[in-house]
Structures are given as C-alpha cells and as structure tokens.
C-alpha cells in the first residue's frame, strides 16, 4: 500500500467513517503534499475552500467555454474524505493537488467527465462496458462475502461506526491496509474498464510528478478501487501510450457552486448516490464511534432522537422526552439483537416508527425526508470565479431580498409595489433563460385582480449550469433575457409561439426585445391563414395587454396586432367551422370560447368613435364579433348542407356543437333575448334533424351552466319532448352525448331538472316556445326597490343609477365589460 514516499489512502466517497480515518491518518503522516482524486483544473480554486464564506455541501463545476452546456460537477459534503483532506492541507499550509483525469478531456468527448459525481463506492454510477457485478459494486460484493445482504449496513458496521482508536500509539493506517487488500482481491476477479485504466494512468503520472518535486512524504486520497492500480507502478512508457488515446482538450472554466444534501442523495443526473446524507452528516458532526469511544455512539444516537422529536413536535405530533428515551433504548436493543456494534440507520428508523410515530409511515416519511436526506444548502464566497451573468443575478437576489433556498416556498407579489414588480420581472426573465427558480402557482390570497401574482420558489444546484449556458446571450439578467427572446422570435415557426413570447416579454419587462418580437409577430400573423392558430394566439395577446396596463408598459403596437387578429378571426371563423368531425368541432369550440372572452376584454378598452352618436356601435369590434356568432348560429346542420335555405348565406353545414355554443354566447352577451333563443332551440330540436347533431347543439348551448333550464320551463319542455321522441334505434347514439352534457352541469341544477321533469306538466307556451305571447308585465315598483342593491353590487355611482327599472335590463350590458376587465 505504501513505499518510502507515497501513502495511499483508499476511501469511500462521501463516507463519514472514511473522513474520520483520513483525518487521523493525515495527523499521523504529516505529509508534505496531499494528492486528491479530482480534476486538476481545480488547483486554481482549491484555496477558496479555506475562506469563511465556504460552507459545504459545495461542488466543483467545470464547463466548456465554447459550450457551457457541456459541464460536470464534483460534489463535496462536510463528511467527504476529500473535503477533510483539502481542509487539512490548507489549514497546515501544505500543497494540495488534484490528480484525476482533467475535465477538459471528458468535456471534449461530450460526455460526463470521468471522476465527476462518483457513486458511494468510489466508482462512476454507470457500469463500465464488459464489467460484471464485482466491478460495478465492489462494496456490495464485500458485504455479500461477509454474509450481509445490505451493503450499506455492512459498511456502517465495519467503517462508519468504528472511529480511529483513541490510543496515540495505535496504527491509524491499518483500516486503509485492510481496504486495499480487499480491493486487490476484487480487482483480480473483476478486471478493469478502459475508462479506469486511463484515469489511473493519469493518476500515476501525477504521483511521479510529485516524486520528482522532491516531496518527502506524499499522501494520496483516492477511491479505494484505484489503490491497487496506484500501488504498483508500470513503466512511464506504458502510461504514456494509454494517455495517447485521449481526445484533444477543450478550453474549460471551473468554479465552486453551492450544493444540497438532497442532490447528493440522487443516483442519477448530478447526484452522488448517497441514500442518507443528513444521517451521515449527523454521524460525522457528532462523532459517532464504537470501540474505544467511551459511549460516543450513544450520545450521537440520543442527539439524533432529540432532533427527530423536535421535527415531529413542529408538525403537531405529540412527542415527549419519555418517547426520546424509549426510542434510544429500543434502537440500542435492536442493534444488540442484530449483532451490530452500534445502532445504525435501520435500527434508528425502526425505533422512531414504533415509539414516536405510532407505526405511521406518513410521519416516518417526514423524518426520512427532512432529517435522513435533508435540504442543507451550501454557500460559496463572493470571491469565487463566476460568469458576469451569475454575479448580476447574485446582486439582484441581494437587492430584492430573494434568498435561494432548496426548500419550496410560496411567494405572493403585489405588482402595485415597486419591489414586488422587480421580483416578478426577475423571475419571468429567468424563466425565459430556462432557469425555473420560480413557477407560477395558485394564489393563496382571495383576490382575482391582475395586480397579484403567486409563485412557488425552489432553488436547484444545476441552475448554475443553465446560468453559464445563458451567459452567451448577455452579461446581465435583463440583457440575457432580451437576447434570448430575440433569438426565440427569429426561430419561431408558429404564431402561438410568438404571442406567448410577447406575453413573456411584457411580463418580464423587456422593452428592448419587443420591437424584434413584434416584427416577427406581425410578419407571421400576415402570412398565417389557419383560423385555429389565429384563435389560439389572440388570448395570449389580450392577456399581455392586461398585464401591460398593470405594469405601465407601452403596448400600443401589441393592441394593433391583437385587433387585426380579431378582425381576421371574425371573417374566417364561419367558413372554418364547415365540415368538421366531432373531435375537430370540440377543439374549435374551445377556441370559440377563448376568443369570445378575449374580444370582450378588447372591447372594454375600445374608445368611442367621435364621428358617431354615443349609442352607435355598429362598427365596433364587439358588433363585428356578434355578427360572426349570428352567422355561425344560422348555419344549417351537416345533414342539410346544400339545401341553400334562405338566410344562411351558404348551404354548407356546421356541427351542432358550434351552432349551439354560438347561440348561448349571443344569449349571455345580451345580443339575443330568450324568445329568440327558444326559437333557435325549437328549430334545433326538430325531428327532421339528425339526433346526434341535435345532441351536440344541446351540449354547446348548455355548456358551462344549465340554470337556463330552471329559469325558462319552456326550454326544458322543448328538450324533454324532443328527448321523448328520439327513435329507439338512435337513442343509444344520443345517450353518451347527453350524459356528457348533463354530467358537466352543477349537481344542484341536475337534481332540480330531474325533479321538475318527474313532476310533469312542463311549460310549452312560454316565451321560449316562440308562441308570440308577450312575457309577463314587469312590476316597476318592485324592480325599483332592488336598484340600490344592484348599484352597490355592480360598483356604480349613485348618480349613474337608472331612474326606473326599465333601465335595469341594460345594466348587465353596460357593466359586464367592466367586470370582465
């Protein structure tokens, strides 16, 4: 394991027992230089580990300068043996060097760098090609040879729970000698991969360089799997021949970034495969020990149980001091029964489940998530090298008081406040850059105003890579988001993509990006003839106009594009509804409803025309849209297409779903009255129409609310008589459509409709039947009594209150636009 100058300390990455053993070995060896498995590029920044602002867990981040997306991490926790070795060397003023294969080679190959994000046993997470189970999981094989099915519990017993002997004369290197002997035997059976051969050849070259530098005592801290390859040195020519296979280096940059315990626990991506980092940190920080420790293990166990009790109490679980004492006793008893030197994680969790959680797996899952794994987030000093974009983001985080945290938290913003508006813009800009620090969430505040936003924040370590990638578009967050928006506009191939991008630019406060995005939007809108795409694009533009008003942005050009799209939809929608199947009609119905809502908002802001009387709106956008809906509602059903009935303007057929929906939108908007709606329903329910098309008309008409059937018995009577007359052979086809229609209605409406139908004698001569009889005369005196309440509910000033109830019928038409805005 060792020669006259070199001592090999084979470790398990991120193992607290290995970390304590390394600390004891270095204290005994007092080396002149410390060599550590890791990328040599990190030699330039390793000194930052000694600065006060460096708090693990942290990670080394290396990325290619020309392609920042090619990146790799090397994470370190407080209990990582490599971190212990780094801190020892820096504290003692001893040179420290990284000796693994440079990151520049792995980044040149476009793959994860060898040595980065290693698994707990010191090997890469992926099994090398051609290797068996021995090479992939040597710790598991050693555990199996010792009769343990669980490699984690075996490693805890033989390493983690056995601290270095307290006797100063004891051999601190004995554990490393035993591990090296075991790994040598395993490698003889398993062989090695080409990847490991390249890494180990480079490590040997680094050891030779340290020897040539005349260091008397050299300590090498590396994964235990590599110790046999470094203990026997082949010729220099042999290693040079291996390294000649490496690809050409690429220019790289490296720095420190914060890391989290949760990320350490992940076995994929940039994780390290540590199942219980929070538990390991506790063992390392509280000196869990076994032989010669004078009860240190019991103290660590008692401290852990106390933390569990504090967590459960905070979550309203009744846990007392007696529970803590009993849980410690049970864990120690379980360890003795299972023949373990100390209570491990398995015994600890079994005791917590039985004593503190009353057998509840839900409470135990909370302990595992918060304590066994944990969300500890590291810190790096401000002097650590970063890209300018990262420095600007850090500045904004401090000025806006938005601290990056690994725990999810809710953030409610009031856009009427300057600081909250700036926070909102920052989060929207980062989303444009692919850094989803915040995601929109449902507001916890009972408000529907456009001045409020709610976010769910959670910082993730890999955002450091995305920020490095985004640095290509600018050196500040605003400049980078602007550059990214302009690039996305140039590459957009569909109109909805551009309207969504315009909305993002307004939300993010990027006025410099809007001209380029608006030009692309205008060009695409002028060429796009697909009514469905136009209808999909319009709502996003209208939403952008609403937020633009709240945020005080100039959106005049955007309003012009939105009105142009609305006009084109008014012209092109009726022909686009012809000849559709059921699936296409359902999709277009959604577009119809969203366009109706969007035009209602646009009409709210439409200024009156000076050349027209105040009550004239024949050329308004709202009237043009109403004319489109009337044209759509008058179209013939598909079965009658080609008959050329008078008043339709064309003989082509439109599905009943769309005709019924257009009729309902006209009724809700006050464009037609209940008499005309009843007449249209009567025509649609004519037995001359196909039952399936009629059922579609009913679905479109009743969608959203079936209260109409309760307020107008004639409509319900028409529907009941039609349904009773559907032929038996067609009833099975109609039934699924009707069930879907009525299932979407409110439960109270369904119940009341059923009761009225069961009672019989539904009205058939009311206004809805189109009999021509006038509706019941309005009681003016009773209606006037309700005016003060209506005035208060609708937010009208007392001076604008109509003098009589004759004007009440006009109030919804005059105020629905205000309430919609």
Query: In whole angstroms, what is the distance from residue 546 CA to residue 503 CA?
Result: 10
Please determine, for residue 294, whether its predicted confidence score (pLDDT) is greater than 50: no
Share of residues in the chain with pLDDT > 70 (%): 80
Average pLDDT on 497-517 reads: 84
Maximum separation of any 2 CA atoms in the chain, in Å: 114
pLDDT score at 419: 92
Mean pLDDT across the chain, nearest whole number? 79
Find the helix or strand (DSSP H, E) in which 402 lies: none
Average pLDDT over residues 53-63: 91
- The answer on pLDDT for 644 being more than 50 is no
Q: Which of 397-411, 601-615, 688-702 shows the lowest mean pLDDT across its residues? A: 601-615
Q: Which residues pair with 71 in a beta bridge?
A: 63
Least confident of 107-116, 206-215, 235-244: 107-116
For the cut 50, the answer to whether the pLDDT of residue 626 exceeds it is: yes
Query: What is the percentage of the chain residues whose pLDDT exceeds 90?
Result: 26
- What Å distances lie between residue 229 and 13, 180, 198, 233, CA to CA? 18, 10, 11, 7
Flag whether pLDDT at 646 surpasses 50. Answer: no
According to DSSP, the β-strands at 252-258 and 96-98 are unpaired
Q: What is the pLDDT of residues 151-181, one digit of tens each?
A: 777 777 777 666 555 555 567 888 888 888 8
Q: Between 795 and 566, where is the model more confident? A: 566
340 vs 327: CA distance, rounded Å: 17
Q: Could you tell me the pTM of the whole model?
A: 0.65
pLDDT range class, residue 199, cuts 50, 70, 90: very high
Q: Which two tokens stand for residue 173?
A: 């290197």
**Strand order through the sheet with 452-457:** 409-414, 452-457, 438-440
DSSP-assigned letter for residue 706: -
Lowest mean pLDDT among 436-450, 625-639, 680-694: 436-450
pLDDT of residue 401: 92
Instruction: Report which of 401, 517, 378 is spatially closest to residue 79, judged by C-alpha positions.
Output: 378
Query: Is 255 in a helix, a strand, or coil?
Result: strand
**Residue 767 banded pLDDT, cuts 50, 70, 90:** very low
Confidence of residue 815 (pLDDT cuts 50, 70, 90): very low
Instruction: Indicate the pairing of strand 218-223 with strand 33-36.
Output: parallel
pLDDT at 392 over 80: yes
Structure tokens, 531: 């009514």
Q: How far is CA 587 from CA 535, 639, 705, 735, 740, in A?
A: 11, 21, 19, 21, 16
* Mean pLDDT within 184-199: 84
The Cα 385–Cα 686 span in angstroms is: 77
The neighbouring-strand residues paired with 74 are 60
Say what the pLDDT of residue 798 is. 63
The closest alpha carbon to 603, from 616, 590, 592, 617, belongs to 617
The better pLDDT of the pair 676, 351 is held by: 351
Least confident of 49-58, 233-242, 549-558, 745-754: 549-558
Looking only at the bridges linking them, the beta strands covering 452-457 and 409-414 are antiparallel
Residue written as tokens 């009341």?
A: 752
Range among 87-91, 295-299, 657-661 with highest mean pLDDT value: 87-91
- pLDDT band of 587, cuts 50, 70, 90: confident
Q: Is 414 exposed, middle or buried (0-12, 13-18, 19+ CB in 10 A)?
A: middle
Residues 66-85: pLDDT tens digits? Answer: 888 788 889 999 999 999 99
pLDDT of 210 over the 90 cut: yes
pLDDT number for residue 770: 41
- 753: closest CA among 716, 698, 802? 716
Best CA proximity match to 656, nearest among 619, 615, 702, 621? 702
Q: How far apart are CA 263 and CA 14, in angstroms?
A: 13
Q: Which of 285-299, 521-535, 559-573, 770-784 has the lowest mean pLDDT?
A: 285-299
Pair 544, 554: CB distance under 8 Å: no
Per-residue pLDDT, 681: 75
Tens-digit pLDDT profile for residues 245-265: 888 888 898 999 888 888 888
- The whole-angstrom separation of Cα 759 and Cα 500 is 52
Contacts of 617 (CB under 8 A, 6+ apart): 623
Q: CA 97, CA 39: separation in Å to the nearest integer? A: 9
Give 604's pLDDT tier (boundaries 50, 70, 90). Answer: low
Mind listing the pLDDT tens digit for each residue in 331-383? 999 989 988 888 888 899 999 999 999 998 999 999 999 899 988 888 899 88
Three-state SS sequence of 408-472: CEEEEEECCCHHHHHHHHHHHHHHHCCCCCEEECCCCCCCCCCCEEEEEECCCCCHHHHHHHHHH
């Amino acid at each position: 394991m060792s020669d006259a100058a070199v001592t090999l300390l084979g470790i398990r990455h991120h193992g607290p027992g290995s970390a304590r053993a390394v600390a004891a070995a270095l204290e005994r060896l007092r080396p002149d230089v410390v060599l550590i498995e890791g990328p040599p590029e990190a030699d330039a920044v390793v000194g930052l580990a000694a600065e006060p602002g460096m708090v693990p867990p942290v990670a080394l981040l290396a990325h290619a300068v020309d392609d920042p997306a090619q990146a790799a991490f090397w994470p370190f926790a407080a209990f990582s043996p490599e971190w212990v070795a780094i801190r020892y060397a820096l504290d003692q003023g001893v040179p420290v060097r990284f000796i693994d294969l440079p990151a520049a080679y792995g980044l040149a190959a476009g793959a994860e760098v060898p040595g980065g994000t290693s698994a707990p046993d010191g090997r890469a997470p992926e099994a090398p090609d051609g290797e068996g189970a021995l090479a992939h999981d040597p710790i598991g094989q050693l555990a199996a040879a010792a009769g343990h099915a669980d490699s984690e519990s075996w490693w805890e017993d033989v390493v983690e729970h056995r601290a270095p002997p307290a006797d100063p004369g004891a051999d601190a290197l004995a554990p490393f000698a035993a591990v090296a002997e075991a790994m040598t035997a395993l490698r003889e059976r398993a062989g090695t991969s080409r990847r490991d051969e390249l890494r180990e050849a480079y490590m040997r070259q680094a050891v030779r360089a340290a020897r040539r530098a005349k260091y008397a005592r050299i300590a090498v801290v590396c994964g235990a799997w590599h110790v046999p390859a470094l203990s026997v040195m082949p010729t220099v020519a042999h290693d040079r021949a291996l390294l000649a296979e490496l690809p050409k280096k690429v220019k790289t940059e490296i720095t420190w970034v914060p890391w989290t315990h949760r990320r350490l626990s992940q076995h994929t991506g940039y994780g390290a495969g540590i199942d219980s980092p929070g538990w390991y940190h506790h063992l390392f920080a509280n000196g869990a020990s076994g032989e010669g420790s004078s009860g240190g293990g019991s103290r660590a166990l008692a401290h852990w149980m106390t933390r569990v009790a504090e967590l459960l109490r905070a979550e309203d679980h009744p846990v007392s001091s007696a529970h803590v004492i009993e849980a410690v006793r049970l864990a120690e008893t379980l360890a003795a029964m299972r023949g373990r030197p100390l209570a491990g994680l398995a015994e600890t969790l079994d005791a917590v489940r039985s004593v503190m959680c009353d057998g509840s797996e839900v409470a135990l899952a909370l302990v595992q998530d918060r304590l066994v794994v944990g969300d500890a987030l590291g810190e790096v000093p401000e002097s650590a090298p970063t890209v300018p974009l990262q420095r600007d983001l850090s500045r904004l985080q401090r000025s806006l008081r938005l601290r990056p945290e690994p725990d999810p938290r809710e953030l409610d913003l009031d856009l009427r406040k300057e600081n909250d508006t700036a926070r909102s813009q920052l989060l929207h800009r980062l989303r444009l850059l692919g850094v989803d620090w915040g995601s929109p969430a449902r507001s916890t505040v009972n408000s529907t105003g456009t001045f409020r936003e709610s976010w769910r924040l959670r910082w993730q370590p890999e955002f450091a890579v995305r920020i490095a990638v985004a640095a290509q578009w600018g050196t500040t967050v605003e400049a980078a988001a602007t550059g990214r928006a302009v690039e996305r506009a140039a590459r957009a191939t569909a109109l909805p993509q551009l309207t969504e991008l315009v909305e993002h630019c307004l939300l993010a406060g990027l006025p410099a990006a809007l001209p380029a995005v608006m030009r692309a939007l205008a060009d695409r809108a002028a060429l796009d003839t697909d009514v469905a795409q136009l209808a999909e694009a319009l709502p996003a533009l209208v939403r952008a106009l609403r937020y633009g008003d709240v945020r005080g942005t100039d959106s005049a050009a955007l309003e012009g594009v939105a009105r142009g799209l609305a006009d084109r939809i008014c012209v092109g929608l009726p022909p686009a509804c012809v000849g559709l199947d059921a699936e296409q009609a359902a999709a277009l119905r959604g577009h119809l409803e969203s366009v109706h809502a969007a035009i209602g908002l646009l009409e709210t802001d439409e200024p009156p025309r000076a050349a027209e009387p105040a009550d004239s709106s024949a050329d308004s956008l709202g009237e043009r849209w109403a004319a489109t809906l009337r044209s759509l509602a008058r179209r013939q059903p598909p079965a009658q297409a080609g008959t050329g009935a008078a008043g339709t303007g064309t003989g082509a057929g439109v599905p009943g779903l769309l005709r019924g929906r257009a009729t309902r939108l006209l009724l809700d908007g006050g464009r037609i009255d209940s008499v005309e709606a009843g007449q249209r329903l009567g025509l649609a329910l004519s037995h001359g129409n196909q039952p399936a098309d009629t059922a579609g008309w009913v679905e479109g008409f009743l969608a959203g609310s079936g209260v109409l059937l309760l307020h107008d018995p004639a409509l319900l009577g028409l529907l009941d008589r039609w349904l009773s007359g559907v032929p038996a052979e067609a009833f099975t086809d109609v039934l699924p459509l009707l069930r879907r229609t009525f299932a979407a209605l409110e439960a109270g409406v369904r119940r009341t409709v059923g009761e009225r139908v069961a009672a019989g004698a539904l009205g058939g001569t009311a206004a809805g039947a189109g009999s021509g009889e006038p509706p019941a005369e309005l009681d003016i005196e009773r209606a006037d009594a309700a005016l003060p309440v209506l005035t208060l509910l609708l937010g009208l000033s007392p001076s604008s209150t109509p003098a009589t109830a004759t004007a009440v019928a006009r109030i919804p038409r005059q105020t629905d636009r205000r309430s919609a805005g």
